Structures are given as C-alpha cells and as structure tokens.
Amino acid sequence: MISRTEYLEFDIPGRRAFVNITPEIERVVRRSGVREGLCLANAMHISASVFINDDEPGLHADYERWLEGLAPHEPVSAYEHNRTGEDNADAHLKRQVMGREVVMAVTGGRLDFGPWEQVFYGEFDGGRKKRVLVKVIGA
C-alpha cells in the first residue's frame, strides 16, 4: 500500500471563485507512484468546496447565479449565524450544496475521469488562506 498526502493552499482575493485544481491533483497522483487506487480531495474549510464538473465559463456563471438565488449574501441580517459578528452564513450554505469532497479513481497511474470532468475548488468566503487536502492511496 502506498499513501501520499499533500495540501493545496488558496488565498482568493474576492469573496467567491471557482478554481480548476485538476492539474495540481494530477501532479500529486504522479508523485504518489500509485498505479491503482483512490484519490481524495477535500476542502478543509467550512465555507469552501471541492467538486467535479465541466470547465465551462457559462456553467460557472450558472452556478454563481443559482447559488446566490439559493443563499443570497445580502442581506446579511437575514441569517442567524451572522448575529455572531460573521457575514458568511451564505458561504456555509453554498458549501453544503456544492459538497466538501470528491473521491476519484486512479487507474494506470492517472485520474480515471469521464469526458469533460475536471476538479474544482469552490470558494464562497474568500480573502484569507484556505487549504485542500489531497490524499492518494493504493498500490
């Protein structure tokens, strides 16, 4: 059994963004030496997400509009959580919808994806450092 753990760091200057992290994850898989196994990538912050989908700007704009419709940032006073002095309740809800993590198959030393699949880091409350754990296990 082989195992490798690495952390990707992000400091998104704006409040929200979708960042394609597929190349970074592929590098971790290659460095691991795993030929057959699994790769886990998870956001290590409760207002960020890791998800798999198409890298298409229109889809990203649709996500942004859809998520803002589900959990609008304003008015911040609409959320109980924000009564603690925070202004990021919407980010927690957006993360819940988009998911914390993904698990990907590694076959022949590569991520085993379907057509158009890419891995994204979703930031919903930027402006500070955040991390994504990438763990590869297998043989």
Q: What is the CATH number of the domain that holds 17?
A: 2.60.120.460
Question: Which residues are bridge partners to 110 per DSSP?
Answer: 107
**Residue 71 belongs to some domain of the structure:** no
SS3 123: strand
Asked whether 2 and 32 are in contact (CB, 8 A), the reply is yes
**Residue 90 belongs to some domain of the structure:** no
Domain that holds residue 17: 2-57+99-138
Q: What is the DSSP letter of 83?
A: G
Residue range 34-45: mean pLDDT, rounded: 98
Give CA–CA dist 100/94, Å, rounded. 10
Predicted confidence (pLDDT) per residue in 58-69, tens digit: 999 999 999 999
Predicted confidence (pLDDT) per residue in 86-133, tens digit: 999 999 999 999 999 999 999 999 999 999 999 999 999 999 999 999
Asked whether 136 and 6 are in contact (CB, 8 A), the reply is no
**Residue 133 belongs to some domain of the structure:** yes
First to last CA, the chain: 5
Backbone phi, psi, residue 123, to 5°: -105, 130
**Residue 75 belongs to some domain of the structure:** no
Q: What is the DSSP letter of 44?
A: S
**Residue 45 belongs to some domain of the structure:** yes
Tokens 């006073």, residue located: 77
What's the pLDDT at 100?
97
**Residue 28 belongs to some domain of the structure:** yes
Question: Which residues are bridge partners to 90 per DSSP?
Answer: none
What's the pLDDT at 116?
97
User: Which is nearest to 71 in space by CA: 54, 49, 42?
Assistant: 49
Q: How many domains does the chain have?
A: 1
Angle at 25 (CA atoms; ends 94, 50), nearest 5 degrees: 10
Residue range 29-38: mean pLDDT, rounded: 98
What's the pLDDT at 119?
98
**Residue 121 belongs to some domain of the structure:** yes
**Residue 76 belongs to some domain of the structure:** no
What's the pLDDT at 118?
98
